[in-house]
Each structure stands twice: as C-alpha cells, then as structure tokens.
Amino acid sequence: MRLFCVFLLAVPVWADRCTLPAGVAEFVQTLPAERGARHQSLGEAARAKPDDFHLNRLFLDGSVYEKQAVREQYRREYETHPGDLDYTYLYARSLVGSNTPEALRVYSQILAKDPDYPWVHLSQLEIFRAEPFRDRKKLESSFMTLRRACPALWEPYEYLGEIDNAGLVAREAANLRELLATSKDPRTVVLYRALWAAEFRGRSPAGQEVERQIVAADLKRLGALERTPELRTVLANGARLTGDQTLVKELAPPPRFDPGNERSAWNKAHPRPQPGDPPEQKRAWAQAQLAEATRWIARAPAERRTLAYTDRLKALVALDAPADEIGQAGDELLALTRSRSAGSYAPFLAVARAYMDRGVLLDRVPGILQEALIHIDDPEAVIEIDLAPAPEHTAINRMAFVDDHANAAAMLSEFDEKQGQPDTAAAVLQSLADYLAAKAPPHDGKHSAVERIYGTARFYYWRQRAALAEHAGLKLDALVAYREAAVSLGHSSEELLAAERRLWTGLGGSNEAWVQWLNTVRDPAQLGKEPDRVVFAPLNRPLPDFTLKDIAGGTWTPDRLKGKTTIAAVWATWCEPCRAELPHLAKLADALKSRGGVQVIALNTDENAGAVEPFVKQSGYGFPVLLAQHFAEDLMPVFAIPRTWIVRDGVLVAETVGFGDPEQWREAVLAQIK
C-alpha cells in the first residue's frame, strides 16, 4: 500500500517537470519562427526571469554553442546553488558545443542522483547523434527513458531515425502517428518527416507503395492547414515521396533575389574603368553603380544587403558626393553590420577607407577602426563547435579575421601618418609585424587556402611599410617593401607596379634591369595552386558486421564482399554532386561487368528510404543500391558526400571525397583496382 501511494504521488511530479507551465507555454507560442530571433527572444525572457528554469532551459536548447559570458553566468548560478539538479543541468547544458565532454561528465553526476532526469536525456539525444560523440546505443537508451518518463514529450521523436532497433522504431512510429493525429501543437507538424521515414524503413519494396498511399492521405489532411514555413517543408517532403510533381512545383519557392549574384552579373557586364580612362567614363560608371546598388538595397532581404550598401558607399565617394550623403551611407552600412550576431567586420574597414579616400569625416575613422579591431580580435569571433568540428574551415575563417586585422591596422598607420604623426604610424606598423609573426601558418603545403589569406594580410603590412619609407625619402627601402608586398600577394598589381617603377626610375635603374627585377616575382598562376586531380587516401578499416537491404529487396552481408574488390559510391538523392557522379558510376559498372572479382555498388544515405527507389528507377541505374544510412554514417569521421570507397575482401582500403572531373575520377578508380 505504501509503495502504491508513493507511485501515485510521483505521477504529477513527472508531469510537472515534463510539461511547460501554462504561462511559459503561452509565451513560447508567441515566439518568432526564425531561429536567431527566437533564440534572442528567449534570451531576453530568461534574463528578465533568471530563476525560471524552463525559460533558461529553452534558451540553452536554442543553440549548440553559447559564448564565454553565457557559460560564466550559468557557472556562477551552479556554484551559488550547490546540489540543485536544475542549476547543475543549466550549467552543463551551457557547455554543450564548446566543451561537450565536460557537459557529459556533469550529466553523469546528475543521472547518478536522478536516472530519469529528462532534460539530460533530451540533450544527450543531440550529443549522441553528433559525429564526434555518436553512440546509437546510448541514444536509444536516452530515447526510451524519455518515452517512459515523459510520454507526452514530442521532441524525442525527432531522433527516431537514429535508432537501429527495428522493432522499437516500428512501435514508436505507431505511437507517433497517434500523437500527430491528436496533437494541437503546430510545432509537431515537422514530425511527419520522421514518421514517414520510420514507416518506410519497415516496408518491403512492395509495401512501399502502400506507404505512399498513406503519405498521400496525410498530405490531403495537412493541405487543409495554414501553410507555415515548417508545413511547406513537410508537404514538399511528402510530395517527393509520393511523386506528386504538381505539388512539388506548387511548393517550389520563388527565386529569391540575391544581390550577390546580380552584382557579379552586373560587374561582368560593366567592367570597372581603368586608371587611365577618361574622368567622364569613370563618373558614368560610378553613377550606374550607384543606381544599381540603390535598386539592390530596395529588393534584397536585410541580411543580404551588405555588398549593396558597400557598393553604394564606394559610388558616392567616386562621385565626390557631399560629406553628409557619404556619412549617411556609412552609418547605414555600420548599423547593418552591428545588427548581425556574427560575421566579418570588413564593412567597417570599407567605411573607414571611404572616409579616408574622400577626406571627409576623418574624426570618425580611428573609432571605426578600433571598434572593428575589438570584434576582429574577439577570441570567440570564430568558433569551432565540438559537436561538428571542421578544423580546416575554422582555420580559414580565423585567418580571414587575421586578414581583416592587418587591413585595419595598416589603415590606422596610414591615418596616423596623414595626420602628421609618423612615429605613431610606425609604432602601429611594428605592432602589426609582431601580430603577423604570431599568426603565421605552417608552410607545409596542406593549408594553401590559409596561406593565401595570410599572404594578403602580409600585403597590407608591406604596402604600408613601403608608403612610410617612401614618404620618409628612403627610396630603396620602399622599393624592397613594395616588392615584398607583391610577393605576399602573389603578383604585382597596377598600383604596386606603378610605385615600383617610379622608385626604380628615381634611383637611376635601367630598363633592362627593370625587366629582370620584374621576373623575380613568383608566378601568381602557381601560387597555392591545388593539384587538379582525384586523390584516394589509403585506409585500413575492416568493415563491421552488417545486414543491409537493397532497393530490390535483396540482403547484403559481409559474405557478398569476400574475395572481391568493391567500388562503393556513398550518396543521397538530395546531393547534387552525388547526382552528377551516378551516371559515371553506371558507365563504370557497365564497363566492369565482365571483369571477375570486381563489383560496383551504391550506398545510399537518405533519411527516408522511400525517396530512393523512385529516383533510381527514373534514372535507369542498374547497379545495386543499398539502403545504408547508419552503416555509411558510422564509417565516416565527418559526414561528407559524395564519397567513393574501395573495399577489398571486406576491408575499406581507400577513399576519395567529392566529385569533380569525371575522367579523372574514372582513371583514379580504375587505378585502385588494377
């Protein structure tokens, strides 16, 4: 009896902590749909009510990475409330993305005290799905705990596709269908994608046609709802699964105006005037650029207007517009840049350059450059989320900020010199030299993109050093510095060539020696040039035991790979480079049909197996297509497709990522099986 009473008392406790309080639930319904705006609104609400656990939890759940200031805030609360599981959870959740191993350690402490604490399990679903921490068994365990402890919670179903247990997936798909039939929460509509994917997984090839009819019935019912962006995405997915091309076309978004693309096309059609062109030609071009930039600003979404605002500012400078017009254009560009939570602060540098070139609003220049440097040098200006690390991409982004720093510092030095402060200008430049020395990348040939960006940063330094030397009358020093600027950049621009030629002539150099001097510059066409070829990286990775189905209903196990060399293309129907590769894979398969001991297969990674067979059938491909989402994902340290694997006798021995030149790809594959 006593145990029975305890159980009855426990029910409302679970219900309370698994369900949002009425006031918070009503507030959530008013939040904007856009992710960034939603996260910002939750942050403001959490700061207004710092003791409201659910607001703080929702705020943290809205991002996979919180910056140091936020992490410190939750650390202080955790230390102020020792032993409180909710504050402990918020602190640990704030670490996800920046120090996920530590978050998991703290999570384990919470679960030791309360094994069913729901929010730890919900967060662990996200963590154990991520490639660096992928663990499908632990994900399944957290999923099952949440389904038992919080049966009305719908968020766990978003991870249903990550579970390997076919029986569990089938049971939970049935539960999910029942939930969706009765749910009045508009946010749950996104779960239809997870539902359809789970149901297709349990169908035979013949049964998939039955499932398509079920999806079609779902679409008919969903079509009567208000078409929110989330619902449009679901409808598009369902239309693709059922082959309803009329609905696919109806839901196709209208072409979005992209000022970047239009700008490129316009610049190609209207070449920029050269320095020696007549002034009236330059003015006409600037007037045309101003008109186009104004049109782009009016049409583009706010987040895409930066280039248009920058072009407008440059056009006004070229037209010698009044200072107040230039100032207004600069202020609008600065305001747009400040409104973004992340990104480059290059627009700040464009504004400072415009004011300096035009000789107006000079009192604003130091402040603009210093503000830019504060953001550029922020240690968290570029972050690497440990749930999805991308070291090479992060290195490129970090070096881009080094480039911006060098540009800003060189401009500060230039500004100081023009204000009659050569000593200050030299000191700023010396600080830049020290900064660049500390930021130098390894010259190992593996970071060509990073080295190219670093070369541009060095160009800013050497160009300003050359200018300071020339203005001080040190012509030979200036000549050498201009040459270093050209070497750093990889070529001599017209500006650099004119400066070098001027100094060369002033020093009494001959034309013959001048030509020899020019030939010492490295060929820019070879600077950082990537080898234009397909490269297979050697591996030695025995494949795990597996049982996979192909779209024809056949079963594949490791036995079907024994004694053979297998060429396996890893792909998805939504991947454009993959779609470009598959016709060439088909040709290769036909060419190798008569070759014993070699087979060609395709490993599909689509989330929904129902999308695969119609695509392959329509394309007419004859090679075996295996439904291998989890199998392939678990073999990749980072998910990236298309990918071609060479498997010999059940061992993955080589791979190449991406697809470029078809002939080179074919030759590289054939070289692996000779």
pLDDT at residue 525 above 70? no
For 143, the token pair is 């999923």
User: What is the layout of strands, in order, in the sheet containing 598-604?
Assistant: 537-542, 651-657, 643-648, 565-571, 598-604, 625-627
For 221, the token pair is 């019912």
- Residue 335, pLDDT score: 92
The b/e string for 63-81 (b: 16+ C-beta within 10 A; e otherwise) is: bbbbeeebbebbeebbeee
Does residue 282 fall inside a structural domain? no
Does residue 272 fall inside a structural domain? no
pLDDT at residue 9 above 50? no
- Residue 529, pLDDT score: 41
Confidence of residue 324 (pLDDT cuts 50, 70, 90): very high
Query: Which of 255-259, 408-412, 477-481 has the highest average model confidence (pLDDT)?
Result: 408-412
- Residue 300, pLDDT score: 78
pLDDT (tens digit per residue) in 244-254? 888 888 887 77
Give the largest Cα separation in the chain, rounded.
108
Report the pLDDT averaged over residues 588-604: 91
DSSP state of 550: B
Confidence of residue 14 (pLDDT cuts 50, 70, 90): very low
Least confident of 33-37, 222-226, 252-256, 408-412: 252-256
Q: What percent of the chain has pLDDT over 90?
A: 63
Report the pLDDT averaged over residues 454-470: 94
pLDDT at residue 269 above 80? yes
- Parallel, antiparallel, or unpaired: how do β-strands 643-648 and 537-542 relate? unpaired
CB 241, CB 608: distance < 8 Å = yes
The b/e string for 571-589 (b: 16+ C-beta within 10 A; e otherwise) is: bbbebeebbebbebbbebb
- Residue 446, pLDDT score: 63
pLDDT (tens digit per residue) in 50-105? 999 999 999 999 889 999 999 999 999 999 999 999 999 999 999 999 999 999 99
Give the list of residues 6+ apart from residue 215 with CB closer than 8 angstroms, or none: 196, 238, 241, 242, 610
- Residue 386, pLDDT score: 93
pLDDT at residue 613 above 50? yes
Question: If we measure between CA atoms, which residue out of 131, 162, 168, 212 comes closest to residue 629?
Answer: 162
Does residue 581 fall inside a structural domain? yes
Domain count, the chain: 1
Pairwise CA distance, residues 573 & 227, whole Å: 25
- Residue 528, pLDDT score: 39
Please report, for residues 92, 104, 433, 449, the alpha-carbon distance to residue 484 in angstroms, rounded to integers and kept in the order given: 50, 50, 13, 19
pTM: 0.82
Who wins on pLDDT, 515 or 353? 353
Least confident of 148-152, 262-266, 305-309, 480-484: 262-266
Confidence of residue 12 (pLDDT cuts 50, 70, 90): very low
Question: If we measure between CA atoms, which residue out of 364, 483, 464 comes closest to residue 417?
Answer: 464
pLDDT at residue 526 above 70? no
Strands (E) in 165-261, as ranges, are: none
Report the pLDDT averaged over residues 16-28: 86
pLDDT at residue 13 above 80? no
- Residue 187, pLDDT score: 83
pLDDT at residue 303 above 80? no
Please report, for residues 81, 359, 647, the alpha-carbon distance to residue 590 in angstroms, rounded to integers and kept in the order given: 68, 69, 19
Confidence of residue 515 (pLDDT cuts 50, 70, 90): low
pLDDT at residue 7 above 60? no
pLDDT (tens digit per residue) in 391-404? 888 999 999 999 99
Report the pLDDT averaged over residues 376-390: 90
Does residue 470 fall inside a structural domain? no
pLDDT at residue 619 above 50? yes
Report the pLDDT averaged over residues 638-663: 89
DSSP state of 545: P
For 314, the token pair is 């440059």
CB 55, CB 45: distance < 8 Å = yes
pLDDT at residue 8 above 60? no
Whether the link from the prior residue into 642 is cis, omega within 30° of 0, is yes
Q: Is 652 helix (H, G, I), strand (E, B) or coil?
A: strand
Domain range holding 543? 537-673
Please report, for residues 128, 270, 291, 302, the alpha-carbon distance to residue 296 in angstroms, rounded to integers and kept in the order given: 44, 16, 9, 11
CB 126, CB 158: distance < 8 Å = no
pLDDT at residue 444 above 60? yes
Q: What is the CATH number of the domain that holds 595?
A: 3.40.30.10
Average pLDDT of the chain, as a whole number: 88
Kindly report the CA angle at 72 between 66 and 77, in degrees rounded to 5?
A: 115
Per DSSP, the residues of 125-142 read: HHHHHSGGG--HHHHHHH
- Residue 340, pLDDT score: 79
Does residue 612 fall inside a structural domain? yes
Give the list of residues 6+ apart from residue 104 with CB closer than 8 angstroms, or none: 124, 127, 133
Does residue 549 fall inside a structural domain? yes
- Residue 442, pLDDT score: 84
Q: Which long-range contacts (CB under 8 A, 24 or more apart) does 160-167 make?
A: 160/194, 160/197, 160/198, 161/194, 161/197, 161/198, 161/607, 161/629, 162/125, 162/128, 162/129, 162/136, 162/630, 163/136, 163/139, 164/136, 164/140, 164/630, 165/140, 166/201, 166/202
Please report, for residues 102, 185, 207, the alpha-carbon distance to residue 32 in angstroms, rounded to integers and kept in the order given: 32, 15, 40
Q: For residue 226, report the phi and psi dihedrals to the nearest 5 degrees.
A: -65, 135
Give the list of residues 6+ apart from residue 635 with CB closer than 8 angstroms, or none: 541, 543, 652
CB 659, CB 665: distance < 8 Å = yes
CA 604 remoteness from chain centre: 23
Span between the terminal Cα atoms of the chain, in Å: 76
pLDDT at residue 670 above 80? yes
- CA contacts within 13 A on the Cβ side of 483: 17
Report the pLDDT averaged over residues 179-208: 90
Who wins on pLDDT, 259 or 310? 310
448-471 and 475-489 helices cross at what angle (nearest 10)?
Answer: 160
- Parallel, antiparallel, or unpaired: how do β-strands 651-657 and 643-648 relate? antiparallel
Report the pLDDT averaged over residues 408-432: 95
pLDDT at residue 516 above 80? no
Least confident of 6-20, 258-272, 598-612: 6-20
For 368, the token pair is 């603009």
Confidence of residue 522 (pLDDT cuts 50, 70, 90): very low
pLDDT at residue 3 above 50? no
Give the list of residues 6+ apart from residue 169 with CB closer than 8 angstroms, or none: 160, 163, 198, 201, 202
Return the CA Rg of the chain: 30
Does residue 165 fall inside a structural domain? no
- Residue 531, pLDDT score: 42
Least confident of 70-79, 228-237, 339-348, 422-431: 339-348
pLDDT at residue 445 above 90? no
Q: Is 281 exposed, middle or buried (0-12, 13-18, 19+ CB in 10 A)?
A: exposed
Does residue 656 fall inside a structural domain? yes
Q: Is 639 helix (H, G, I), strand (E, B) or coil?
A: coil
3-state secondary structure 263-288: HHHHHHHCCCCCCCCCHHHHHHHHHH
